[in-house]
Structure formats: structure tokens, C-alpha cells
Structure 1
Amino acid sequence: MFNLNFTIYHYEREQIELKKACFIVPYFGQLPNYFQLFLNSCANNLNYEWLIFTDCTQQYIYPKNVKKISMSFSDLRKLIQLKFDFPISLVTPKKLCDYKPAFGYIFENYIKGYKYWGHCDIDVIMGNLDNFLPPLFARDYDKIFTLGHFILYKNNFDNNRRFMKSYKGVSLFKKSFTTNNITVFDENYHNDDNVNSIFLNDGVSVFQNDFSFNVKVTPTKFTRVTYNSKSKKTITHVMPGKILIVHTEKGLFEFYIKNSKLEKKEFMYIHLQQRMMRLNMDMHQIVCNFAIIPNGFYQLKDAPKNISEFKMLKKKTLNIHRIRLILKWRLLRIKKLLQNLK
């Protein structure tokens, strides 16, 4: 049986220095094959801390700012149920996305002393967070970002319970937490019935821009998309020809050629949603200097310094990403149709 009191006590004893933010990441089931690279990218951001609640028994090298808390999904569900006076619906781990805005309330004993808490996905590779976040912290935003793969909240009593407020007379959190369907309560994405609407309606400060290289799901090649919170539209960016994403000790960069010059643009992180990635290196040894292409990672000695070096680097390999997704979605539709016929 999961001993909540012991785990909290043990964790607080380990928390020696206060961090700028703490990310809460419950994940149950099989981890991505590049999870170690995710951990390595967190290791480069020592001013931030991650709490990974998981039932995974596979061995990884966790950096000192990432704490693994072993827990079964059943025990997590019990922990969450204790925080609410109505029966919650949480049958599968996929439904946890709707509970993300409540993590500051559910896990409040774990995040004491942090100015901000947040949640992030693990299909991401972090860049240098300190190149982006400190100016936002200085402005004292109550909520930073709007898409579920990376959101931060100011850590205080009222803010951590703001998700419970009604929006247009509807208790959105209760509506979401009592259905097995995923309601996308955690993010502002083509809908108004989400936690971002509650924060805006409450008149608190929300930063709604996007510093990520959020990869569009369907194209095989890397295409960046952003979401305009005001127009409720997804914007597909025109890519500058051949690009290469490179992770270095200084951050995460997109390299490309423009006007006969090698240019680069920094991003806070890259989101590799629904990507199967190949690994052509020993992840346990690689913390910096690796390239990210549409279906894999490979080690670099250094980032390209000129056009000649850029042209010599591999930008892509044989990739059936789009075909794989189409087949996957068709099989899911067939499975759903067969279930409806029963």
C-alpha cells in the first residue's frame, strides 16, 4: 500500500535548496524509448525540479533535480479521490491530462517553497529554460502558457484552487472529473471550456505566447505549429527550407540557411508528439550536442558553425511516420465501430 505520509516526509527532507519551479509529472505504463534523453535535458536546468510519479521499474539515471516517486496508478487514483467530495472518473492514465490543472491542489504537500509549479509532457526535450522563464516569473504571472505539454502556475493557495471556479455558470472541473471522456480541460485548444478560460474570466494575469518548437503531428518532416489563443486557430509556420534541431549545453536551436547565411533560432523545448524516434547513441552518456531529426537522434561533436558544416549533417532518414499514423488511426476507428456494434 502506498504510504503517502512517509513519501511526503522523505521528499521534503531531500529538498535542500529552493528551486524556481517544480514540474509534476504522473506517468504510468511504457515510457518513451528516449526517456533518458528527456531526463538528461532536465539535468541541464538545475534551477528547476521534476517529480515523476510512475509505476515504471526500468532503470534510468535520474539527475539530482528529477525525483522518481514510485506509485501505482491505483494508489494515485486513491490519492486524487481523497481531495474531492464526489466520485471522480479516472479509469485509465490517459484521463490524467484533464487533472493537470488540479495538480497544485492534489500534490500541494510536495510543492511547498516553490514560486511556481507546473506540468509537462515527457515526449519533449528541454532547452535552456532560464533563457525564457525568469522574465515571466519577474512579471508575476498567475499562469504561464496555455497548451498542456508545458504550463506553469503561480504557487499559492487561491491560484491552486482557481480551477474549481465556475465558468459561465458551469463547474467545468466537476464536469470533466466525472466523465471517462477526455474533455481537454487542461489546455486552451479549439475550445473555451478549459482552465485557461477560468483564469482569464477571473481577471488574473496569463501569458499566452508559445516559445516551443511544437511539431505538427501528421507531416513526416518537422513542421512547427503554434496556437493563437485569441483567434482559437492553429498556425502552421512556413519552414525555412532544410532545418536541423540541435541540443547543446547553451540550449535548443533550429539551424537553417537564409540569404546565404547560417541562421539559428532558440526554442525553450521541442514537443515530439506521437513520434517514434530512433536512437543512434548511448543516451546515458549524452547530455549535450545531439541532433534531432524527424524520426531519431544522433550525437554531434558540436553544433554547425557555418554553411559547409550544416550541409554535411544529416537532416533526415527513411521515415514512414505519416503512413504509420494513418494506419494507426484507421485501426482505431475500426475497433471503435466494432465496439459500437456489440
Structure 2
Amino acid sequence: MKKACFIVPYFGQFPNYFQLFLRSCSINKDYQWLIITDNKEKYSYPKNVKKIDMSFQQLREKFQDKFDFSICLNTPRKLCDYKPAYGYIFEDYIHDYPYWGHCDIDTIIGKLNDFLPELISKKYDKIFTLGHFVLYKNTFENNRTFMKQFQGRKLYKESFTTDKITVFDETYGNKNNVNSIFISNKKEVFQEDYSYNIYINRTTFQQIKYLYKTNTYILGEKLKYNIFVWSSNGLSQIKMCNNKVVNTKIMYLHLQQRKMRIKKDISKYYDFVIIPNLFYGIEKVPKNISEYKKLKKGNFSFHKERIFIKWKIHGLKKRLIKKSRRL
């Protein structure tokens, strides 16, 4: 029996590195992925990743059938708020799994069995709190916990009846989210952040880590070279320390809002390197100083400038909308 099934609705164009995401899923044979999409492009799907063809309208109708009020789901972007409900909405797909979950496809997955079996064995009701990778115990009652009240409010109904993104799926900014509902209902929740979440406002790779005890985020070490290598053994961060190559296993890398380039010859290789903001193939994972020095470590990118312009435009649009409402 597989340990968990990840439910991933995604509509429109996949990231240009989607095939690498699929490759990273392929080494995790104890886990299943369901990609629910209208994307018709041809990809090589591994045996543990099943593509389900569905239009966004069909998905919306499926969601609506599960609720006795009129939901707001006008764009795929709003799907993030519905993530905690996937186990309820898609329960016919997940009967055979002790856990179900959701993850983002702007990630590269490491070897999950290096991290998850111990947590799953402890039978947590919910594992992790950030929306890009969460697991839920697959029981009838647990899959409906998101509907329970928090401080007298039905947060799911508030979220599902507005077009605004309420961040119902994760701990961010306030307590009005599914994590608070689980904790207030005395559910067992594992809250430590196992992700290597890349800070979006830097061109270089710098980790931003969630600290659940203080409900805050901190920036990790700022490295001159931050290099990740993916292979059949999983995902690792590789760096030099005291004239030695240090290899640290990573559960998954989250490349949120990053335009990544891919070297044209990457299909010739199985293993690959991830640097800001580039994927390229390698023959083998470096194990000594000589092999490490041969790695390409830097790459020219306008990522920071692109993000700055994006947020400027976003802010301008918000001001124009407010102004138009006053007229």
C-alpha cells in the first residue's frame, strides 16, 4: 500500500520544468500523485503520477456539488483556498490511502521516505502547515474538520464565498486558516517546516523558514553559492565547509514565482543541478572538492528586477481599482 496520495488540480500552462517535477516524483514509489488538469501537452508521466483530464468548468461543478451554498471559484488561482477540502471533494479517489495531501508543482521533490515515514507512523491528523506541501490523515471525520468553527466562525464558508484569496490553506499573517481549526479542535498537528522555501525577493537562493512557535518567518544563511543537486538518491544542498563537501538532504525545494531556465542538453542526463535560476544536467553528484569545483555555480538573472516590476504593477492596479470605486 502506498503511504499517501497527493491531489494536484492545475489548469493552464505548466512550469517549463514540469518534466523535472515529474522526475522528482518518480523516485517516490510509495506515494501517488493525481494531476487534475486541462493541459494537453505531452509529458512522460511516471507510474506513480496519474493524469486526470478535466476542464476547469467540470472541476468547478464537482466542487459546487459538495456544498449547499453557492461557491466562488471563477479562476484557477482561487484553488489555493480550497486545498484543505480536497480530501472531502475527491474522497472517491483516495479510499486506498492512509494519508492524502496537496503539493505545488513549482517544487522539486526529494526522497520523501527520508522524512515522512516517522511522521506518518505517529498518526498525526495533519502534517505541515504551509500550503505548498501538506498531508492529512485520510478518515471521514478528519476530511471534514476544515468545516468546523473557529472562534464562532465558519472560515471555510467565508473563504469559499469570496473571490479574494483568503489564504485559508496555510499559516500566513493571521489565525484565520485551516491550521487554527485543527489545533482548536485538539487535532494532532506536526507544524515544523521541513521545506527549503526560496525567498522570492532575492535573485540568489536564500531560504525563508517558518517558525510555528512564534508564527513568524526568518531568512536563512545568505550563501555566495547555494547549489542543489537532484539524483535517484533524492535532493541535496551541496556546499563547501572547512575544505570539505557537505551534502545536506532536502525534502523539497519550493521555487515560488521564479522563472527558471533549462539547459538544452538536460535530457541527456538523469541527475541535475539547480542554481539561481537554472537547471542543468550532470553525470554524477559531486563527492569531493575537485568535483565540486567543476560545478557551474552562478547564472545571470533579472529575477529581482522582474519581481520588483510585478509588485509595482500589482500595487498600481489596486490603487486604480480603489479610485474607480470612489468615482
1:289–1:302: 8 Å Cα contact kept in structure 2? Answer: yes
1:36–1:60: 8 Å Cα contact kept in structure 2? Answer: yes
1:339 CA drift (Å)? 3.3
Give the distance between the partners of 2:40 and 2:266, measured in 1 at CA. 18
Give the distance between the partners of 1:310 and 1:294, measured in 2 at CA. 17
Give the distance between the partners of 2:195 and 2:305, measured in 1 at CA. 26
Over aligned residue pairs, what C-alpha RMSD do you find?
1.3
| Map of 1:201 onto structure 2 | 184
Whether 1:338 aligns to 2:309 is: no
Quickly say closer, same or farther: Cα 1:85–1:283, change in 2 above 3 A.
farther
Give the distance between the partners of 1:285 and 1:162, measured in 2 at CA. 46
Whether 1:81 aligns to 2:64 is: yes
Residue among 158, 163, 169 paired with 2:141? 158
| Map of 2:245 onto structure 1 | 262
Give the distance between the partners of 1:158 and 1:341, measured in 2 at CA. 46
SS in 1 for 2:159: helix
Quickly say closer, same or farther: Cα 1:52–1:282, change in 2 above 3 A.
farther
1:277-306 CA distance string (max 9 Å, x none): 0010456565x4100011110001111111
Q: Which amino acid aligns with 2:306?
A: R
1:102–1:161: 8 Å Cα contact kept in structure 2? Answer: yes
Give the distance between the partners of 1:40 and 1:140, measured in 2 at CA. 28
TM-score, normalised by the number of residues in structure 2: 0.96
SS in 1 for 2:22: helix
1:158-190 CA distance string (max 9 Å, x none): 100000000011101011111111110000122
Q: Which amino acid aligns with 1:339?
A: I
Give the distance between the partners of 1:304 and 1:332, measured in 2 at CA. 42
1:241–1:256: 8 Å Cα contact kept in structure 2? Answer: no
| Map of 1:319 onto structure 2 | 301
| Map of 1:252 onto structure 2 | 235
1:335 CA drift (Å)? 2.6
Give the distance between the partners of 1:329 and 1:204, measured in 2 at CA. 37
Whether 1:57 aligns to 2:40 is: yes
| Map of 1:289 onto structure 2 | 271
Q: Which amino acid aligns with 1:264?
A: N
SS in 1 for 2:182: helix
SS in 2 for 1:153: strand
Quickly say closer, same or farther: Cα 1:144–1:156, change in 2 above 3 A.
same
1:100 CA drift (Å)? 0.2
Residue among 124, 145, 151 paired with 1:168? 151
SS in 1 for 2:163: coil
Give the distance between the partners of 2:222 and 2:87, measured in 1 at CA. 37
Give the distance between the partners of 2:179 and 2:37, measured in 1 at CA. 27
Q: Which amino acid aligns with 1:302?
A: K
1:166–1:172: 8 Å Cα contact kept in structure 2? Answer: yes
**Unaligned 5+ runs, structure 1:** 1-17
| Map of 2:18 onto structure 1 | 35
SS in 2 for 1:51: strand
Bigger mean CA deviation after superposition, 163-172 or 324-333 = 324-333
Quickly say closer, same or farther: Cα 1:168–1:67, change in 2 above 3 A.
same
| Map of 1:96 onto structure 2 | 79
2:206–2:223: 8 Å Cα contact kept in structure 1? Answer: no
1:29 CA drift (Å)? 1.2
**Unaligned 5+ runs, structure 2:** none
Whether 1:299 aligns to 2:281 is: yes
Give the distance between the partners of 1:126 and 1:106, measured in 2 at CA. 25
| Map of 1:7 onto structure 2 | none
2:124–2:188: 8 Å Cα contact kept in structure 1? Answer: yes
Give the distance between the partners of 1:165 and 1:283, measured in 2 at CA. 48
| Map of 1:11 onto structure 2 | none
1:341 CA drift (Å)? 3.4
2:99–2:138: 8 Å Cα contact kept in structure 1? Answer: yes
Give the distance between the partners of 1:272 and 1:203, measured in 2 at CA. 33
Give the distance between the partners of 2:181 and 2:312, measured in 1 at CA. 36
2:146–2:178: 8 Å Cα contact kept in structure 1? Answer: yes
1:337 CA drift (Å)? 2.7
Q: Which amino acid aligns with 2:157?
A: K
Give the distance between the partners of 1:254 and 1:138, measured in 2 at CA. 27
1:143–1:207: 8 Å Cα contact kept in structure 2? Answer: yes
SS in 2 for 1:161: helix
1:131 CA drift (Å)? 0.7
1:338 CA drift (Å)? 2.9
Q: Which amino acid aligns with 2:292?
A: F
2:7–2:103: 8 Å Cα contact kept in structure 1? Answer: yes
Aligned structure 1 segments of 4 or more residues deviating by more than 6 angstroms? none
Give the distance between the partners of 2:23 and 2:266, measured in 1 at CA. 8
| Map of 1:8 onto structure 2 | none
2:268–2:281: 8 Å Cα contact kept in structure 1? Answer: no
1:115–1:155: 8 Å Cα contact kept in structure 2? Answer: yes
SS in 1 for 2:141: helix
1:315 CA drift (Å)? 1.1
